[in-house]
Amino acid sequence: MRTILTIIFILVCIALTVIVLLQEGKSAGLGAISGAADTYWGKNKGRSMEGTLVKFTKFLGVAFIILAAVLNISKF
């Protein structure tokens, strides 16, 4: 069981790293200063690729914390 959880933990770590690297930086949103935030992509960010990446990041972050805790508890 511990081996399976460790493999899943490694896959979650790799996926989390890749998804975080795929996201745009916060500096990409500096168009708001000039009023560019009212575009279609600015209003519908939750439905775009960026919104999907944020959702997956949250899910994988929770999975990472839970798996890390379970693997640490099972160590004793």
Taking the alpha carbons at both ends of the chain, their separation in whole angstroms is 14
Instruction: Judge whether 14 lies within some domain.
Output: yes
Q: What is the pLDDT of residue 40?
A: 55
pLDDT at 37: 52
Write down the pLDDT at residue 28.
Answer: 55
Q: Give me 35's structure tokens.
A: 């009023």
Range of the domain at 12: 1-18+45-76
Please report whether residue 30 resides in a domain: no
Instruction: State the pLDDT at residue 7.
Output: 96
pLDDT in tens, 10-69: 999 999 999 999 887 766 555 555 555 555 555 555 567 888 888 999 999 999 999 999
Residue 31 covered by a domain: no
The reply to whether 28 falls in a domain is no
Looking at the 3D structure of the chain, how many domains does it have?
Answer: 1
Task: At 24, give phi and psi (nearest 5°).
Answer: -75, 150
Enter the tokens of residue 3.
């081996």
